[in-house]
Amino acid sequence: MMNFVVFAVEAALISNIALSYFLGLSPFPEIGKNKKQTCIGALAMVIVMTLSSLICGVIYRYILVPANAVQAKTVVFVVVILAASGLLALLLRKRTAALEEGKPFPALAVNTAVLGTVLVIVQNDYSVLNGTFYGFMAAVGYLIVIAMLSAIDDELKYSDVPKSFRGVPILLVAAGLMAIAFHGIEVLGG
């Protein structure tokens, strides 16, 4: 049980996909503009990243490796991610009015965080269960970062930030400070 807790903290915070690998940063400019769309996109990321981690793990371990076709993994993973995000968009389109006013799923389909997570899972040779759990926790970590940056953006509206740092630049500075803080957790853990 303790190994899963350490694994979860590692995936969500210490090796955060956005802060450590610098993947999935495309929603950063939108954080201050439309909070509802940003939250819907981050929640959809949890579903798509978990589903993609599971499907890509199964395909890689049980189809590509036995067929000696691991060179095709990136193309296969991109197709799976596109299919997973498209399926989620179809399932939720009728139930969520917010999908009509903005389009988080096309951006989600090409989001580098999903592909990066799947490639980290393959590179570290995680089992399908561990890979799916890693994908879920990486998505939760991504959601945490987006939520924290959204809250920071709200607070910065009332702060005296130099004009050249307003908006995305100060959010990137905040993200850098968050990355340093998250890496400090690793030092505490030994």
Per residue in 90-118, pLDDT (tens digit) is 777 766 654 555 555 555 655 788 999 99
Amino acid found at 178: M
What domain range is 67 assigned to? 33-136
Q: Is residue 77 part of a domain?
A: yes
Total Cβ atoms within 10 A of residue 172: 15
CB atoms within 10 A of CB 110: 13
- The confidence band for 36, taking pLDDT boundaries of 50, 70 and 90, is confident
User: What burial class does residue 24 get, using C-beta atoms within 10 Å of its C-beta: 0-12 exposed, 13-18 middle, 19+ buried?
Assistant: buried
Least confident of 24-28, 64-68, 98-102, 109-113: 98-102
What is the three-state SS of 170-181? HHHHHHHHHHHH
The lowest-confidence range among 47-56, 136-145, 176-185 is 176-185
Confirm if 27 and 38 have CB atoms less than 8 A apart: yes
- C-alpha R_g of the chain: 17
Quote the number of domains for the chain. Answer: 1
CA–CA separation, 178 and 182 (whole Å): 6
Average pLDDT, the chain: 83
Q: Which token pair is 112?
A: 């580098």
The verdict on residue 146 lying in a domain is no
Position 59 in a domain: yes
Nearest to 178 by CA among 29, 16, 31, 25: 16
- Looking at the domain assignment, is residue 153 inside a domain? no
Q: Is 23 left (phi over 0), alpha (psi -120 to 50) or beta?
A: beta
Q: Does residue 187 fall inside a structural domain?
A: no
